[in-house]
Chains A and B, each alone.
Chain A
Amino acid sequence: MSILDINIKNQSKHFRKTILTYLILSILAIVVNKVYALFGHGVSSPAMTWMFLYPLIGGALFYFLIYGFANKIIKFTLYRLFFNIFNSGIATLTFGSFLKGVMDIAGSGSIYLVFYYVVGGLFIAAGLILMFIMVINQKRADA
């Protein structure tokens, strides 16, 4: 497994930028919910109300923990794949939650909603597996 030439300053910048982006996306999810509520006759949906938790916990908090406890994994070439796959999972789950909220509020439903949760979950699971591979390899390298 090759190791990218990324210095500590760049690592820190990458994580801070990622965490900040996820925080902004969490706020955006809250704003979307509030704006949608203005047109919903007081009707609300837990799926839309709580969709901000995906970018907040799955994104900002998760990358904060990586930054604190496993920031060296960024040196692996595998990190880019993990980063892409995990972020895609969070995005898929967030949009799935948004769509479920829209349909709950309208009183409708779709057979396709389940795919968002399945695909999002698979992306997250694949991302976590890649992350653990990198963490284990890092521990071996440190030992």
Chain B
Amino acid sequence: MKNFLAKPYRWAGVFSILLAAAVTFTMMDTFVLEKSMAKDSTSSSPAIQTTTQVKQSVAKSDAAITDNSYQDENIKITIETVRKYDTTMYVADIQVSDVSYLKTALADNTYGRNIKAETSTMAEEKNAIFAINGDYYGFRDTGYVLRNGKAYRSTGKGEALVIDKEGNLSMVSESDVSMQSLSAKGAWQVLSFGPGLVENGKITVDSTSEVGQSKNSNPRTAIAQVSKLHYIVIVSDGRTNESAGLSLLQLAEEFKERGCTTAYNLDGGGSSTMYFNGKIINNPTDGRKNGERQVSDIVYFGY
């Protein structure tokens, strides 16, 4: 073996094959291979699904529904299309009577890496009235994940969004606040993308703020709270000839103008999708091809 490798190019040949295999494995592991780590038992049981469907069918039968609005005794949604900053954005004003109508769902009801589905597919499976993409937690190895009261991932160093059992939104630093303490305080949902856009009614980003290495104008998805159980969701188009996309500062200003006290940026770019009553409202695109991207999770309103 020693003599074999000592000859010119043999080591190089063997090592190249090993390195190519390692690189291929790393890429596959990161982007392709599905790794299921836990089932979402909070929403997948047939009994819960049946109860949910019954509640929804009763509510929907009494609901007033148009192309851009929905109202029943528990959920009120109005979607406004706004043209600003050379961009089309979709602003949803949502009021619910109880936090239980604000939910999240995981693709295939499973927590894991590379387990994905379109936002609309997940929304339809959950009979959601309104849904947006979540934080795409499954594309990263860190960042708190707690959904419908169940904690899945407790490592992170960024800024997380907490939705408590009263339905109030707040931001926490994952470096300073442990997932254990969030669970103990009764967190209902924790999403990790960011950054936070508005806190205590004040804008917390500036013109230089950006998500990772991303460029300034992008399709965006963000959620905010106006008052108790009253939320604003903005999804913007971007990366097209029709829509440039929004900067984080522009997005934050839109929330502040609407009186939001807390606003948080979710996964954007090709992931940005707004679903309402069976239709996709925005124009999802990653800048190369149009259409929905598969993501790990959604935030939705419904029964």
Contact = CB atoms under 8 A, between A and B. Distances in A.
B31 A107 contact: no
B140 A43 contact: no
Interface residues of B, number: 31
A41 B140 contact: no
A84 B15 contact: yes
A112 B245 CA distance: 34
Interface in B2-18: 5-6, 8, 11-12, 15-16
Given A84-B12, A99-B27, A109 B213 contact: no
B126 interface: no
Contacts of A99: 23, 26-27
Interface in A57-98: 80-81, 84, 87-88, 91-92, 95
Contacts of B239: 41
B99 interface: no
A99 B140 CA distance: 14
B5 A112 contact: no
A41 B287 contact: yes
A104 to B, nearest CB: 6
4 closest Cβ contacts across the A-B interface? A42-B215, A84-B11, A110-B30, A108-B139
16 contacts: A43-B214, A43-B215, A80-B6, A80-B8, A84-B11, A91-B16, A99-B27, A102-B27, A107-B140, A107-B211, A107-B212, A110-B26, A110-B29, A110-B30, A112-B26, A113-B26
Interface of A: 39, 41-45, 80-81, 84, 87-88, 91-92, 95, 99, 102-113, 116
